[in-house]
């Protein structure tokens, strides 16, 4: 006999079932929700036919009642029918017909279900409803992430730290500027999401090959009525399916979001390295365990998880692009991959967004380590500042670059502070003076208009 634990996890294969993904997004892509979307499309089609006089309004209202009644048409019943007829959408149609005729025996409205439509009229229109709800959740997460980043940007406007390029010390920045750059990027993702929705929230009722012939001259009116009722835009022209360039755009955008999230998480991981130590993920020192064998560890496990799952999300792009290639007016090769791609992409990206919200909300910022690392650089990150100061005193830019570089090479070779190497140069001291040299190597004097940049990012992103 199987143990209670074995019975509990029986059938759970994908980690999204038991480890990753938020309940809110899982509800959108659950079997029950998917069935509800399909039923709402079928009910909207009945209403559209009623508007054109093709069926009684009472029948449309009855079908709407069945669609709205939670648990009336069940996934279990649909599966029973599908096991017999081996057609998933027709199983939904038959289950809805069965329930409608049982509930309204005097009216028998089931005969009107799916009138004039083909399977993907219902499926792709239901996809649009599902995508709309799923993108609402992603947008909410992105706004929360933006807010967390803006809060850090404000709190650390003047927290000076090393900028780094090529893994080496560069000119100084502030941690607030770094966070503002990320917040601006999240803002662009919100803009893109709003733009792509116009091409994703699209329904169709075009029939078997896109000709709308089964609607007897009323196809455009029926399609518009269905879409108006569901809050969607009608597809201007389609084959048997909504063209997958739309889906490619949506999924590519989600992959773009995933890439930004991995970039952010990689920065956290880099700055949490022992030899840098400038930030760290939140850690419950009372109970959290960092390693099974090294008791001292406080690993950036959430950021590492985001880095890994973002790569998985991006890997789904290739089949989504290939799904756009169809034989003639359509084939079925896209169907099975999309059953995986759509829920997995949304669940992974939504999960990663909220994990990064958690990281940045509880991030431990260590200004003292930032100062310590700048001191360890012995002023070398200020070479550009020295060059600019020299040009302001009349030295040519190329000459200023060379004397600043020569002093840097001396400082590196002799392991002395850059300031001391600069003070050995008669050319530099002659123009700047000792006080000018000291001012030029002070990192706080060389962070640019950081307040204006952060304020502009806030102004541009807060309304998105």
Burial category of 231 from C-beta neighbours within 10 Å (exposed 0-12, middle 13-18, buried 19 and up):
exposed
- Write out the DSSP string of 159-173: -EEEEEETTEEEEEE
Nearest residue to 157 (alpha-carbon basis) of 149, 145, 165: 149
* Token reading at 289: 């365990």
Question: Catalytic pick from 166, 184, 189, 344?
Answer: 166
Active-site choice (291, 307, 315, 417): 291
φ/ψ bin of 217: left (φ > 0), alpha (ψ from -120 to 50), beta (otherwise): left
Collapsing DSSP states into helix, strand and coil, what is residue 280? strand
> How large is the C-alpha radius of gyration of the chain?
30
3 as an active site residue: the answer is no
Q: How far is 66 from 109, CA to CA, in rounded Å?
A: 10
Give alpha helix (H) positions in 285-334: 301-315, 317-322
SS3 391: helix
- Is 166 labeled as catalytic in the residue annotation? yes
236 CB contacts (<8 Å, ≥6 apart)?
A: none
Angle (deg, nearest 10), helices 88-103 and 31-52: 70
Closest CA to 149 of 464, 463, 461, 447: 461
Residue 9 DSSP class: H
CB atoms within 10 A of CB 234: 19
- For tokens 């890994």, the residue is 308
Residues carrying an active site annotation: 166, 291
């Amino acid at each position: 006999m199987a143990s209670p634990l074995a019975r509990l996890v029986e059938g759970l294969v994908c980690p999204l079932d038991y480890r990753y993904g938020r309940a809110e997004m899982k509800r959108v892509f659950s079997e029950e929700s998917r069935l509800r979307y399909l039923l709402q499309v079928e009910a909207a089609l009945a209403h559209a036919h009623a508007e054109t006089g093709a069926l009684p309004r009472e029948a449309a209202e009855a079908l709407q009642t069945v669609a709205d009644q939670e648990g009336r048409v069940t996934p279990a019943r649909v599966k029973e029918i599908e096991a017999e007829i081996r057609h998933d959408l027709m199983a939904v149609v038959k289950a809805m017909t069965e329930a409608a005729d049982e509930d309204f025996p005097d009216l028998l409205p089931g005969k009107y279900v799916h009138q004039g439509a083909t399977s993907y009229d219902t499926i792709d229109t239901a996809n649009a409803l599902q995508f709309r709800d799923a993108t609402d959740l992603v947008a909410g997460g992105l706004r929360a992430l933006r807010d967390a980043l803006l809060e850090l940007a404000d709190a650390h406007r003047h927290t000076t730290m090393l900028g780094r390029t090529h893994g080496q010390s560069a000119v100084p920045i502030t941690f607030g500027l770094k966070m503002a750059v990320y917040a601006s990027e999240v803002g662009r993702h919100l803009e893109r999401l709003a733009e792509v929705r116009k091409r994703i929230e699209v329904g169709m009722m075009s029939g078997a090959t896109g000709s709308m012939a089964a609607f007897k001259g009323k196809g455009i009116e029926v399609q518009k009525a269905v879409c108006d009722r569901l809050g969607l835009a009608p597809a201007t022209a389609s084959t048997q399916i909504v063209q997958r360039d739309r889906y490619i755009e949506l999924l590519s955008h989600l992959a773009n979001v995933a890439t930004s999230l991995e970039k952010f998480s990689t920065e956290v991981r880099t700055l949490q390295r022992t030899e840098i130590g400038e930030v760290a993920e939140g850690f419950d020192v009372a109970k959290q365990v960092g390693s099974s064998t090294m008791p001292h560890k406080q690993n950036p496990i959430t950021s590492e998880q985001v880095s890994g799952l973002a790569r998985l999300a991006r890997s789904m792009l290739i089949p989504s692009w290939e799904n756009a290639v169809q034989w003639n007016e359509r084939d079925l090769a896209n169907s099975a991959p999309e059953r995986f791609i759509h829920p997995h992409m949304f669940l992974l990206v939504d999960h990663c967004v909220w994990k990064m919200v958690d990281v940045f909300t509880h991030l431990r910022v260590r200004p003292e380590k930032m100062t310590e690392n700048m001191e360890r650089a012995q002023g070398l990150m200020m070479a550009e500042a020295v060059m600019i100061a020299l040009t302001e005193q009349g030295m040519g830019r190329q000459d200023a670059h060379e004397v600043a570089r020569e002093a840097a090479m001396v400082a590196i070779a002799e392991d002395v502070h850059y300031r001391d190497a600069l003070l050995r140069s008669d050319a530099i001291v002659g123009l700047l003076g000792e006080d000018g040299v000291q001012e030029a190597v002070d990192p706080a004097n060389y962070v640019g208009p950081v307040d204006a940049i952060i304020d502009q990012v806030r102004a541009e992103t807060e309304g998105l």
